[in-house]
């Protein structure tokens, strides 16, 4: 049997609570992180991702307590991201019981951070998160992807999707991989929160470009979307939040569906 | 309660292993490499770090560690911990503990590296460590190298990823897994419970 495709619930955390926004806005309280982590782990999640969306330095202690609480409560891998700007930030998270850290804005601003983290903690610990949005202004210096709606390139946004950078997401990923990224967490800002499905054209373009695992994120609304992320998007893992939080589709229902469709899934 | 010493030779997440071992009823203590191994009822070599750095960190205590294990203290090596059971590694220079002849090879071929995620075990040899674990069970892997034992008698399970590689070994009191039992859900917990039973004997 080949490597199983992973289903990853994501928990956006702020001030000790899990929240989930629509298109990165309008936050709504969805519960206690440790309790939710345990519930997802019991339900068959293959891995979890926690994103500290406030990520201010004054709540590092709160985050550390959450990470440690989660590490004690579950026995599946989990990643923590949000506000990690230095090896010291990463060490605090990893030594509190997380398996991987994800970096986004800080890595775009200071790409050497990726190499530093990989050298210190191992490449497998370093997830590079990319928030990407379609840009229809064709630019010969960017990687043009032919999509159903015409040619586009994918632009990297930082600061939780607030700031366009002018950087091409696919070119950035290639560079980040060379610097030591062990995995990519790729979020489509166009699809995030819509529940209309992942950006398959974006996901596939990245998966075919890098030889480390790619986690597709943004837009999952029903089991078929996960199937497409693996078959058409060629993703190694698929991440979602609201579809799990409000128990619309429990993890087990999605996994059963995928198994019946012939996808290799951990029971 | 029997105590297992987790030897810390890297920087990273050792809390998960400590917590998982404690769930089996063992007490677990994280310690830098030490010659004071008499207090230990068992030793764990965890899976976080790099071969060269770990071999260097273990160098000053290598003799005491090897003697203690050869004296019968149960040993569990996880991921890099298992890779250290062999003589050398393609990851970099340094001498392993050489409990077994063989070396650690890089994963090659048309696959993504690291091999990261859930993959299945094919049982090739019966061992107490896998009591109650079904053939084909899924466990969690994160690695770029795998061990290649010269003596195939020590191989307990194999896993496929580009090649068929050794994913667990057992020989007398020495046990090693290429996957992370502390991250492998209920299957992993069962494996650690089996190890705790071996330690309690």
ipTM: 0.91
C-beta of residue A34 within 8 angstroms of C-beta of residue A41: no
pLDDT tens digits for B94-141? 999 999 999 999 999 999 999 999 999 999 999 999 999 999 999 999
Count of residues for chain A?
267
Collect all residues with Cβ–Cβ distance below 8 Å to B154 and sequence separation of at least 6.
B100, B169, B170, B171
Task: Output the six-digit token pair for A68.
Answer: 């440690």
Q: What confidence score (pLDDT) does residue B10 get? A: 77
Q: Is the pLDDT of residue A59 over 80?
A: no
In chain B, where the domains are located = 3-200
Q: What confidence score (pLDDT) does residue A178 get? A: 97
Active-site residue (options: B115, B143, B156, B182)? B182
In angstroms, the separation between the Cα of residue A48 and the nearest Cα of chain B is 12
pLDDT tens digits for A126-178? 999 999 999 999 999 999 999 999 999 999 999 989 999 999 999 999 999 99
The backbone torsions φ and ψ at residue B87, rounded to the nearest 5 degrees and listed phi first, read: -80, -50
A5-37 exposure pattern, b = at least 16 Cβ within 10 A, e = fewer? bbbbbbbbbbeebbbbbeebeeeeebebbbebb
Q: What confidence score (pLDDT) does residue A27 get? A: 44
- The pTM (predicted TM-score) of the whole model is 0.93
Q: What confidence score (pLDDT) does residue A1 get? A: 59
Q: Is A231 on the interface with B (CB under 8 A)?
A: no
Q: What mean pLDDT comes out for the span B74-78? A: 98
Give me the percent of chain B exceeding a pLDDT of 90: 91
- The verdict on a CB contact (< 8 Å) between B13 and A76 is no
Q: Which of A46, A77, A212 sits opposite B112 (nearest CB)?
A: A212
Nearest in space to A39 (alpha carbons), one of A70, A60, A85: A70
Model confidence band, residue A17 (pLDDT cutoffs 50, 70, 90): confident
Q: Is the pLDDT of residue A246 over 90?
A: no
Q: Is the pLDDT of residue A30 over 70?
A: no
Count of residues for chain B?
201
Fold of B3-200: Rossmann fold (3.40.50)
Residue B79 annotated to the active site:
yes
Q: What confidence score (pLDDT) does residue A99 get? A: 94
C-beta of residue B122 within 8 angstroms of C-beta of residue B159: yes
Q: Which class is A6-260 in CATH?
A: alpha beta
In chain A, where the domains are located = 6-260
């Amino acid at each position: 049997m080949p490597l199983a495709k992973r289903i990853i619930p994501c928990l956006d955390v702020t001030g000790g609570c899990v929240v989930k926004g629509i298109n990165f806005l309008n936050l709504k309280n969805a519960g206690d992180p440790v309790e939710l982590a345990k519930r997802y782990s019991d339900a068959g999640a293959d891995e979890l991702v926690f994103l500290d969306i406030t990520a201010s330095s004054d709540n590092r202690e709160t985050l550390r307590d959450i990470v440690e609480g989660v590490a004690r409560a579950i026995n599946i891998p989990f990643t923590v991201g949000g506000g990690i700007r230095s090896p010291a930030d990463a060490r605090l998270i990893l030594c509190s019981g997380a398996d991987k850290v994800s970096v986004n804005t800080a890595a775009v601003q200071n790409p050497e951070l990726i190499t530093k983290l990989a050298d210190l903690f191992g490449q497998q610990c370093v997830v590079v998160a990319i928030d990407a949005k379609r840009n229809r202004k064709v630019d010969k210096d960017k990687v043009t992807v032919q999509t159903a709606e015409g040619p586009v390139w994918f632009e990297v946004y930082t600061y939780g999707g607030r700031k366009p950078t002018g950087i091409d997401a696919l070119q950035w990923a290639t560079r980040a991989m060379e610097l030591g990224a062990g995995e990519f967490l790729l979020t489509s800002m166009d699809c995030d929160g819509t529940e209309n499905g992942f950006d398959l054209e974006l996901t596939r373009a990245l998966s075919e470009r890098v030889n480390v695992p790619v986690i597709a994120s943004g837009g999952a609304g029903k089991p078929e979307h996960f199937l497409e992320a693996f078959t058409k998007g060629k993703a190694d893992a698929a991440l979602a939040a609201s579809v799990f939080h409000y128990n619309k589709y429990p993890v087990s229902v999605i996994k059963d569906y995928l198994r019946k469709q012939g996808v290799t899934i951990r029971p | 309660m029997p105590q297992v010493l987790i030897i810390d030779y890297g920087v990273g997440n050792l809390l998960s292993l400590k917590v998982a071992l404690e769930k089996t009823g063992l007490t677990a203590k994280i310690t830098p490499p030490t010659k004071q191994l008499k207090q230990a009822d068992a030793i764990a070599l965890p899976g976080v770090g790099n071969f060269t750095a770990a071999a260097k960190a273990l160098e000053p205590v290598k003799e005491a560690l090897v003697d203690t294990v050869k004296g019968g203290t149960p040993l569990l090596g996880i991921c890099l911990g298992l890779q250290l059971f062999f003589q050398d590694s393609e990851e970099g220079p340094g001498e392993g503990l050489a409990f077994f002849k063989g070396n650690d090879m890089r994963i090659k071929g048309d696959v993504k590296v690291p091999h990261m995620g859930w993959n299945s075990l094919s049982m090739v040899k019966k061992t107490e460590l896998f009591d109650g674990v079904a053939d084909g069970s899924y466990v969690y892997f994160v690695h770029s190298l795998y061990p290649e034992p010269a003596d195939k008698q020590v191989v307990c399970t194999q896993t496929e990823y580009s090649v068929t590689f050794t994913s667990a070994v057992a020989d007398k009191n020495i046990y090693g897994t290429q996957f992370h039992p502390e991250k492998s859900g209920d299957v992993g917990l069962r494996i650690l419970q089996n190890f705790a039973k071996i330690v309690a004997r």
